[in-house]
Amino acid sequence: MEKQFHWRKGVPTTSTFLGTIFKYAMKYYESMLDWFASDGYRADIEECKKVHPGMISMEDWLKEDKAYSKK
Q: Where are the domains of the chain?
A: 2-64
Q: What is the pTM of this model?
A: 0.40
pLDDT tens, the chain, 71 aa long: 777 777 778 877 766 777 777 777 777 777 777 878 887 777 888 999 999 999 998 888 888 877 766 65
d(CA 46, CA 53): 10
Q: CA angle at residue 69 from 48 to 71, to 5 degrees? A: 125
pLDDT at position 71 is 58
DSSP at 56: -
* b/e map 3-18, b = 16+ CB within 10 Å: eebeebbeeeeeeeee
pLDDT at position 25 is 73
At a CB cut-off of 8 Å and minimum separation 6, what does 30 contact? 22, 23
